Structure 1
Amino acid sequence: MKKAKLQRLVHQYFNDTISRADCVELLEYLNNTNPDEIADVIDTELINFNKGPEFRGKQSADVLSRIKSDPRFTQSPVVEEAYPVIVKFYSRRWFQIAAALLVFGTAALIIFNKNTSNQATKKYTADQGAGAIVPGSNKAILTLAGGKTIVLKNAANGLLAQTAAGNVLKTNNGQILYSTASKTDAATNQDNINTLSTPRGGTYQVVLSDGTKVWLNAASSISYPVAFTGKERHVSLSGEAYFEVAKNKEMPFYVSINNVQVKVLGTHFNIAAYNDDNEITTTLLEGAVQVTKNNARSLLRPGQKAIVNNNSDNIAVSDADIEDAMAWKNGYFIFDDDDITGIMKKVSRWYDVSVSYQGNVSNQKFGGTFYRSKSITELLQYLEKIGKIHFTVEGRRIIVMK
């Protein structure tokens, strides 16, 4: 099939405007073609539409089986649930393609059942109220050493504060940075501690006085001196943050989270340490870090993670899924066979909602990738499509039920 025709058919499939004959031809072609050969076409459509989850693991196979059971592919005039079809997978890429086709075609059922889909959308929209629940955005509160607070979303760009230890500035690209005064002035003001805090539904970036860059996820905070002095650099963290630490062998960098400490010289890593989680996870992208809790310590290599349970001193080191750890910073949710309670923790932090449960739903596992910029309505609908679960939205409360 020529690329131009393939692009046309894929575009029509995503728009639910494809004819039955063309759909049969498209699915037959996909069934007999290495997915890497059509990856560019699929990617183009995903970019154009700017939505659609990617699925992994067992659910990916289920998704693909449902696509292969498309009534237009089998040329069956009746839409009915088919048995799974065994197929060969060339690579994980096929999972992404399969998921994309499912989302926009929903295994042919969207074409035949548009009214049902529209009613579901109306249910969520009516329940939550127009614009009541929106994705998180760039917002945070800066608390200066004297206790003064600055709501950064409302603050003008430019100079925010001026101290003997250095100046605090807000840039036009949505971050704050510190310029250090003379070493003498900084040394005499070494207790000049600032705290940057993001609310639920917020994220922000700060560039510390040594050039270290820190990205804060929602419901997180970091405390640090306006200027680093002495032989060590110390910050404290609550929640989740990604660090790109400026290299300085003579002045190691420490991140403290309760009684866990991460020591670095200059490296890139992520720390997830929310108070309502049972563990602290440090994921290393490059460089080296040492994780310590009381008398236990472990050294991480790039591509590894360390998990410290809150109730013990044990430090479990294993290979990390870097894509998963960095998803939030890159604008995604990634669910890797996560249970619904873990997923809804992330959802509640990012969309600033409360969550309650009716019945036992904790045994269900979900996998997939979803843009954090999309509406909560779309996210809940996708979860309902791929699992035996339902949601009701009442104001800013989401009720999860079977």
Structure 2
Amino acid sequence: MKEVQLLLEKYKQGSITAAELERLQELSLQPDAVEIIKTDIDTLLQQGAPDSGWQPADHPEILTYILTQPTLKATRSWRNKWLLAAACLAALAIGTGTWFYQQQRPPAIVAQKAKPIQPGSNKAMLVLADGSTVALDSANLGQIARQGNASINNNGEGITYQTNGKASTIVYNAIVTPRGGQYQLGLPDGSRVWLNAASSIRFPTAFAGKERRVEISGEAYFQVAPNAQQPFFVTVKGNKTMDVQVLGTSFNIMAYPDEQMITTTLESGAVQLLHAGNKTQLQPGLAGSLNEAATFDVATADMEEVLAWKDGKFRFRNTNIQTIMRQIARWYDVEVSYAGDLSDVRLTGVISRRADADDLLQILSATQRVNFETTNNQIKVKPFHQEQ
């Protein structure tokens, strides 16, 4: 891991570039890199960290500020900053490749259970035009079915549709991911789709006519192949009056039934949100949410948080515990209940979606804001101060 050591030295000297900092943050998710960083910090701690004059309760916020600066300029005091970061780290419980911060509080307790709850994986079900189903997993590779003049192929990471000649009959297929599943597919026009857990997409085996139209539920990320003569439309299942009109672009749409709003977030290109005669154009970096008044609220999006699921992460920024637990419930296929007042619990951090639920709950508990009790696939969330 010489790359980590080199980037660490640049980081401490203040000469690291934005691209190098992003690379260091990516590498910090790997266990080997974490050990190198801890060793570096231990060495500095043995040399003695400076007395900053700040209280221990301030350490988490200070550390977060130091380690999340977008660009760093070299200064004579940078070694002292790194030593201060080391002192702060010594006062925190740090999970592998994960950081969370909150004010210092009495330790929380996580109930032990015999069998770990495993994270989700790449799995889905293909529903063919006649209603028959095909399991989509690594055990079912190669050509798995034919629909009209289209062959359906599974490469282990997702499926693609390959058409031969003009389709004589248009039929519809669907991909459905369960709770604890995710999947990728290539549509007949070359567009790519990523499905999150507990989601679905229905689409034709060939796009004919003046438009391309698909229907989704849950959450999906699209990279749409450009074709100005055949615009792309996404309809939300159960809400036939709303459409997302697309040319060539990448965007995320979240439409889970247990979320308050349907939200479309644009990464690149342009989309137009349509509902009951209302039209709203989105620019990259913006999100549009259909509210209860049947109009769209548009705001700047936190793209890293929105797209974290697609990149294999949970990312929270001052996110309430109920929203966090809904994501956990869908990915780990668990049932969540609550006890006590959790209305003020909001957390910030990033965790790999590859972590077992036990590890994830331990990390959340390290914030000293919440406790968890787990029984089989049941998780109860309680405030940290509630009697066990």
The interval holding the TM-score normalised by the smaller chain is 0.7 to 0.9
1:50-89 aligned within 5 A: 73=49, 82-84=56-58, 89=65
1:233 paired with 2:212, answer yes
Query: What is the alpha-carbon distance in structure 2 between the residues aligned to residue 41 and residue 288 of structure 1?
Result: 29
Q: Structure 2: where are the runs of 5+ without partners?
A: 35-45, 72-80, 95-106, 384-388
**Are the counterparts in 1 of residues 150 and 205 from structure 2 also a CA contact under 8 Å?**
yes
What residue number does 2:263 align with? 281
The structure with higher relative contact order (CA 8 Å, sep 6+) is: 2
Quickly say closer, same or farther: Cα 1:276–1:106, change in 2 above 3 A.
Answer: farther
Give the drift of 1:156.
Answer: 2.0
What residue number does 1:308 align with? 290
**Are the counterparts in 1 of residues 179 and 197 from structure 2 also a CA contact under 8 Å?**
yes
Quickly say closer, same or farther: Cα 1:163–1:337, change in 2 above 3 A.
Answer: same
CA RMSD of superposed structures (Å)? 3.7
3-state SS, counterpart of residue 328 of structure 1: helix
3-state SS, counterpart of residue 324 of structure 1: helix
Quickly say closer, same or farther: Cα 1:288–1:46, change in 2 above 3 A.
Answer: same
3-state SS, counterpart of residue 386 of structure 1: coil
What residue number does 1:167 align with? 151
TM-score normalised by structure 1 residue count: 0.74
What residue number does 2:359 align with? 378
2:272 corresponds to which of 263, 282, 290: 290
**Are the counterparts in 1 of residues 336 and 379 from structure 2 also a CA contact under 8 Å?**
yes
Query: What is the alpha-carbon distance in structure 1 between the residues aligned to residue 285 and residue 351 of structure 2?
Result: 23
Moved over 3 A (4+): 33-45, 72-75, 85-91, 101-106, 120-124
Query: What is the alpha-carbon distance in structure 1 between the residues aligned to residue 370 and residue 138 of structure 2?
Result: 39
| Mean CA deviation greater in 136-145 or 381-390 | 381-390
Give the drift of 1:260.
Answer: 1.6
Give the drift of 1:313.
Answer: 1.3
3-state SS, counterpart of residue 378 of structure 1: helix
What residue number does 1:254 align with? 233
Instruction: Give me the identity figure in percent.
Output: 37
**Are the counterparts in 1 of residues 108 and 370 from structure 2 also a CA contact under 8 Å?**
no
What residue number does 1:93 align with? 69
Higher helix share: 1
Query: What is the alpha-carbon distance in structure 1 between the residues aligned to residue 313 and residue 300 of structure 2?
Result: 21
Give the drift of 1:91.
Answer: 7.2
Q: One-letter code of the match for 1:93?
A: Q
1:102-113 aligned within 5 A: 105=89, 107=91
Quickly say closer, same or farther: Cα 1:161–1:108, change in 2 above 3 A.
Answer: closer
Quickly say closer, same or farther: Cα 1:152–1:170, change in 2 above 3 A.
Answer: same
Query: What is the alpha-carbon distance in structure 2 between the residues aligned to residue 87 and residue 154 of structure 1?
Result: 45
Give the drift of 1:92.
Answer: 2.7
Give the drift of 1:84.
Answer: 2.7
Query: What is the alpha-carbon distance in structure 2 between the residues aligned to residue 103 and residue 354 of structure 1?
Result: 39
Query: What is the alpha-carbon distance in structure 2 between the residues aligned to residue 350 and residue 365 of structure 1?
Result: 20
Q: Structure 1: where are the runs of 5+ without partners?
A: 12-28, 53-69, 76-80, 111-119
What residue number does 1:272 align with? 254
Give the drift of 1:300.
Answer: 0.9
Give the drift of 1:362.
Answer: 2.5
Give the drift of 1:312.
Answer: 2.3
Query: What is the alpha-carbon distance in structure 1 between the residues aligned to residue 92 and residue 347 of structure 2?
Result: 22
What residue number does 2:192 align with? 213
Query: Per-residue CA shift, 1:245-280, capped at 9, x if unaligned?
Result: 111111000000123210011111111110111101
TM-score normalised by structure 2 residue count: 0.76
Quickly say closer, same or farther: Cα 1:104–1:209, change in 2 above 3 A.
Answer: farther
**Are the counterparts in 2 of residues 364 and 387 from structure 1 also a CA contact under 8 Å?**
no
3-state SS, counterpart of residue 69 of structure 2: helix
Give the drift of 1:325.
Answer: 1.4
3-state SS, counterpart of residue 135 of structure 1: coil
**Are the counterparts in 2 of residues 200 and 352 from structure 1 also a CA contact under 8 Å?**
yes
Quickly say closer, same or farther: Cα 1:104–1:220, change in 2 above 3 A.
Answer: farther
What residue number does 2:128 align with? 144
Quickly say closer, same or farther: Cα 1:393–1:304, change in 2 above 3 A.
Answer: same
Q: One-letter code of the match for 1:333?
A: F
